[in-house]
Amino acid sequence: MPGLILAIFSFAFPLLLIVLKERSQAAWFAKVNPVIACYIAGILLANMGLVPAEAAEALDLVQTASVALSIPLLLFTVNLSRSKSLTGRAGLSMVLAGGSVMVMVALAHVIFQGQIEESARVAGMVVGVYTGGTPNLAAISKALGVSQSAYLTVHTADLVFSSLYLLFVMTLAKPFLAKILPAYTRPEHHGELQVEELEDDSYGLLLQRSSIPGMVLSLVFALVVAALGGAVFLLAPPESAMVLTILALTTLSLGASFLPFVRKQKMSYPLGQYLILVFCVSVGALADLKILVQAAPTLFLFVGLCLFGSFALHILLAKAVGIDGDTVLITSTSAICSPPFVGLTASTIGNKDLIAPGITTGLLGHAAGNYLGVLVARLLTMMA
């Protein structure tokens, strides 16, 4: 019974938070970060003694289900058929951003592998989150069997450092990069890049009665993909079952995105975001703060080196190939902070030409993140 109650809470709390965020009269509530709030809610439950040991199995089931369904829901919006238009500056800049992350992650692994027991697996998670986003972090942690404490510490560090990164992007980044990188010039074929509609803050769509049919249809599509992924899990060798399942879910979801009636379901992305919040609550509810505090310093250094080191390397590589500062900032934001932040960055730097390329590259980063994260973790493990 405690497990069932906590499972229900994992689904109910994010929904309550969304209702308050969208309908509260208090201006400050609109600024609440749902991901952070969901983690805090789970952690408070765990460290107030409200999560008995027997509830762990139910919470683990919630985590598995939320990851299995969120992957297809988030990837259904990717339009790979238009990826050929990414041969310009935005596509190259995103490749440089991903390459920079992998270089810095490998360096961090070499430095910290003697101090972090799960260094290779942590490296895989960091590659996933800084080429894609939180969904990749969650999926890769499941695929690689990362401990709850390590996952939560890495995500906490990401939230802290990503906030500092965004503060820099919103304030000093453009004038700083203007001294290093070329100025932006509009390409000859401006407007070629297009993406399916993606709301900057789409949680509110979940509360509209008119959205119910779309949510049901998107969920049905996701359940079909998840069921096929489950078949892979049952048929695969036990030692690699979870990795192959996550990669199969990613591949099947991208395959489904080629179907227009799947890709154009506008409720897929917000529903996927909601399930990530469910995941956050259930992970937080299994977090032991004592273990988190003990592991935090080294893991924080690992994540900080990867984020800021990769951003610096991205700038240097962009300078070498002549990519402008605006494009670097947009693609860096889409990689480090995920597509919903692209519009905010574009508005801040005064260049809305780059919204479509930024969102497109970010969604493709979501698609590539699981593959790259698992690959890097496997390669670093073999090299140990």
Of residues 258, 170, 171, the one with CA closest to residue 221: 258
Length of the chain: 384
Distance from CA of residue 240 to its chain's centroid? 23
**pLDDT for position 329:** 95
User: Helices H, strands E: what count in the chain?
Assistant: 16, 0
Taking only the tens place, the pLDDT of each residue in 23-74 is 877 777 777 778 788 888 988 888 888 888 888 889 989 988 998 898 899 8
What lies within 8 Å, CB to CB, of 351 at 6+ separation is 184, 326, 330
Read off the amino acid at residue 289: L
Q: How far lies 158's CA from each of 127, 167, 198, in Å?
A: 12, 14, 23
Q: How far apart are CA 175 and CA 334, in angstroms?
A: 20
* Closest among 14, 1, 19 to 283, alpha carbons compared: 14
Q: What are phi and psi of 117, to 5 degrees?
A: -60, -40
For residues 282 and 16, what is the distance between their CA atoms, to the nearest angstrom? 15
Domain-located, residue 299? yes
On whether residue 161 sits in a domain, the answer given is yes
* Measured distance CA(246)–CA(233) in Å, rounded: 9
Residue 134 lies in a domain: yes
Q: Rounded to the nearest 5 degrees, what angle is found at the Cα of 365, between the Cα atoms of 363 and 369?
A: 130
Instruction: Answer yes or no: is 5 within a domain.
Output: no
- Residue numbers of the domain that contains 308: 64-276+288-383
> 17-21, 27-31, 121-125: which range is least confident on average?
27-31
Q: How many Å separate Cα 180 from the centre of its chain?
A: 29
Domain-located, residue 358: yes
The predicted-structure confidence for 223-253, as pLDDT tens digits, reads as follows: 999 999 999 989 988 777 888 888 888 899 9
Q: Is residue 83 scored above 70 in pLDDT?
A: no
The pLDDT of residue 29: 75
Residue type at position 131: T
- Please spell the DSSP secondary structure of 189-226, one letter per residue: TTT--------SS-GGGGG-GGGHHHHHHHHHHHHHHH
**Domain-embedded: residue 258:** yes
Q: How far apart (Å, rounded) are the C-alpha atoms in residues 258 and 255?
A: 6
Total domain count for the chain?
A: 1
Let me know if residue 123 belongs to a domain: yes
Which pLDDT does position 88 carry in this prediction? 76
- Kindly report, residue by residue over 277-295, the tens digit of the pLDDT: 898 888 888 776 666 666 6
pLDDT band at 193 (very low <50, low <70, confident <90, very high): very low
Helix (H, G, I), strand (E, B) or coil at 158: helix
> What's the pLDDT band for 9 if we cut at 50, 70, 90?
very high
Residue 21 lies in a domain: no
